[in-house]
Chain A
Amino acid sequence: MPQTFTYVFDTPVYKGTSSFSTGIFINGKFQDGSEGGYIDVINPTNGKVITKVSEGTAKDVDVAVEAAQKAFDTVWGLNCPGFERGKLLYKLSELMTAHADEFAALEALDNGKTFGWARKADIEAAIGSIRYYAGWADKIQGNTIETTKDKIAYTTHEPLGVVGQIIPWNFPLMMISWKLGPALAAGNTVILKPSEFTPLTALLMAQLTVEAGFPPGVVNIINGYGTTVGHALSHHMHVEKVAFTGSTLIGRKVLEAASKTNLKDVSLELGGKSPNIIFDDCDIEQAVNWTVHGIFWNHGQACCAGSRIFVHEKIYDEFLHRFTEKTKSLKIGDPFAADSYQGPQVSQQQYDRIMSYIDSGKEAGATVHLGGSRWGNEGYFIEPTIFTETKPDMRIVQEEIFGPVGVVIKFHDDDDVIRQANDTVYGLASAIFTKNIDRALKTSQRLRAGTTWINCANQLHAQIPFGGFKQSGIGRELGEYALQHYTAVKAVHINLGHEI
Chain B
Amino acid sequence: MTGLQSSRLSLGGGGDFRGLGGLDAGFKLLLELSGVDGSGTVEELFVVGVGSPVITRDSEWVSCRQSQEQEEKAPTICTDTKQTTASPSGSSLPVMDRIATKMSDKFCRYPSTNSSVKDIDVAVAAAREAFRTTWGKNVTGIERGRLLNKLADLMERDAQVLGELECLNNGKPLKIARDFDVGDSVACLRYYAGWADKIVGQSIEIDSKTKFAFTKHDPIGVCAQIIPWNYPINMWAWKVAPALACGCTIVMKPSEFTPLTALKLSELIVEAGFPPGVINTIPSLGSVGGAALSSHKDVDKIAFTGSTVTGRKIMAAAAMSNLKKVSLELGGKSPHLVFESADLDQAANWVALGILYNTGQDCTAGSRVYVQDTIYDKFLQILIGKAKELVIGDGFDEKSGGGPVVSKVQYDKVWSYIESGKQEGAKLALGGVKRSGKGYFVDPTIFTDITPEMKIVKEEIFGPVLSVGKFSTEEEAIRLANDTTYGLGAGLHSSDANQCMRVSNALEAGTVWVNQYNLLYNNVPFGGKKQSGIGRELGSHALEEYTSVKAIQWNFGEKLDWPL
State the A residues within 8 Å of B (CB).
Answer: 82-83, 86-87, 90, 128, 131-132, 134-139, 141, 152, 437-439, 441-442, 445, 462-463, 480, 494-497
0 or 1 for each of B355-374: is its CB under 8 Å from A? (1 = yes) = 00000000000000000000
Counting from the closest, the 3 A-B pairs by CB-CB distance are A135-B194, A438-B556, A441-B556
Contact of B501 among A90, A135, A442, A494 (CB under 8 A): A494
Residue of B nearest to A135 (CB): B194
Chain B positions within 8 Å of A135 at CB level: 145, 193-198
In this complex, which of B187, B194, B208 has the most chain A Cβ atoms within 10 angstroms of its Cβ? B194
Bound form: Cα–Cα A495–B142 in Å: 44
Chain A positions within 8 Å of B197 at CB level: 132, 135, 462-463
Listed by A's residue number, 8 A-B pairs whose Cβ atoms lie within 8 Å are A83-B523, A86-B190, A128-B142, A131-B145, A135-B195, A136-B194, A442-B556, A463-B141
B198 smallest CB distance to A (angstroms): 6
Known: A90-B190, A438-B556. A496 touches B501 (CB 8 A): yes
Please tell me if B149 contacts chain A, counting CB pairs below 8 Å.
yes
Please tell me if B557 contacts chain A, counting CB pairs below 8 Å.
yes
The answer to whether B194 and A139 have CB atoms under 8 Å apart is yes
Please tell me if B497 contacts chain A, counting CB pairs below 8 Å.
yes
Contact of B498 among A132, A138, A496 (CB under 8 A): A496
Please tell me if B63 contacts chain A, counting CB pairs below 8 Å.
no
Please tell me if B212 contacts chain A, counting CB pairs below 8 Å.
yes
A67 smallest CB distance to B (angstroms): 29
Contact of A445 among B146, B196, B198, B208 (CB under 8 A): B208
A31 smallest CB distance to B (angstroms): 35
The answer to whether B191 and A138 have CB atoms under 8 Å apart is yes
The answer to whether B556 and A494 have CB atoms under 8 Å apart is no
Please tell me if B502 contacts chain A, counting CB pairs below 8 Å.
yes
The answer to whether B145 and A497 have CB atoms under 8 Å apart is no
Please tell me if B522 contacts chain A, counting CB pairs below 8 Å.
yes
Residue of B nearest to A81 (CB): B521
The answer to whether A438 and B523 have CB atoms under 8 Å apart is no
0 or 1 for each of B488-528: is its CB under 8 Å from A? (1 = yes) = 00000000011001100100000000000000001100000
A261 smallest CB distance to B (angstroms): 35
DSSP majority for the B interface? Answer: helix
Residue of B nearest to A497 (CB): B498
Chain B positions within 8 Å of A494 at CB level: 497, 501
Chain A positions within 8 Å of B502 at CB level: 496-497
Please tell me if B180 contacts chain A, counting CB pairs below 8 Å.
no
Chain A positions within 8 Å of B505 at CB level: 152
Chain A positions within 8 Å of B190 at CB level: 83, 86-87, 90
The answer to whether B195 and A441 have CB atoms under 8 Å apart is no
B101 smallest CB distance to A (angstroms): 32
Residue of B nearest to A132 (CB): B197
Residue of B nearest to A496 (CB): B501
Chain A positions within 8 Å of B141 at CB level: 463
The answer to whether B540 and A139 have CB atoms under 8 Å apart is yes
In B166-198, the 8 Å CB interface with A consists of 187, 190-191, 193-198
0 or 1 for each of B142-169: is its CB under 8 Å from A? (1 = yes) = 1001100100000000000000000000
Chain A positions within 8 Å of B498 at CB level: 495-497
Chain B positions within 8 Å of A136 at CB level: 194, 198
The answer to whether A138 and B198 have CB atoms under 8 Å apart is no
A455 smallest CB distance to B (angstroms): 15
0 or 1 for each of B367-390: is its CB under 8 Å from A? (1 = yes) = 000000000000000000000000
Bound form: Cα–Cα A137–B187 in Å: 13
Chain B positions within 8 Å of A134 at CB level: 194
Known: A442-B556, A442-B557. A463 touches B194 (CB 8 A): no
Known: A132-B197, A135-B198. A441 touches B554 (CB 8 A): yes
Known: A442-B557, A494-B497. A138 touches B194 (CB 8 A): yes
Bound form: Cα–Cα A141–B522 in Å: 13
Bound form: Cα–Cα A141–B541 in Å: 13
The answer to whether A152 and B149 have CB atoms under 8 Å apart is no
Chain B positions within 8 Å of A463 at CB level: 141, 197-198, 200
Bound form: Cα–Cα A480–B141 in Å: 15
Bound form: Cα–Cα A497–B141 in Å: 47
The answer to whether B195 and A139 have CB atoms under 8 Å apart is yes
Q: Given A83-B190, A139-B540, A445-B208, output 9 extra A-B contacts at Cβ < 8 Å.
A: A83-B523, A90-B190, A134-B194, A135-B196, A138-B522, A139-B523, A438-B557, A495-B498, A496-B498
Please tell me if B435 contacts chain A, counting CB pairs below 8 Å.
no
Bound form: Cα–Cα A496–B500 in Å: 9
Please tell me if B209 contacts chain A, counting CB pairs below 8 Å.
yes
The answer to whether B209 and A445 have CB atoms under 8 Å apart is yes
0 or 1 for each of B50-77: is its CB under 8 Å from A? (1 = yes) = 0000000000000000000000000000
Bound form: Cα–Cα A438–B208 in Å: 12
Chain A positions within 8 Å of B497 at CB level: 494
A478 smallest CB distance to B (angstroms): 12
Residue of B nearest to A439 (CB): B556
B404 smallest CB distance to A (angstroms): 32
Contact of A437 among B209, B501, B522, B556 (CB under 8 A): B556
Chain B positions within 8 Å of A87 at CB level: 190
Bound form: Cα–Cα A20–B119 in Å: 57
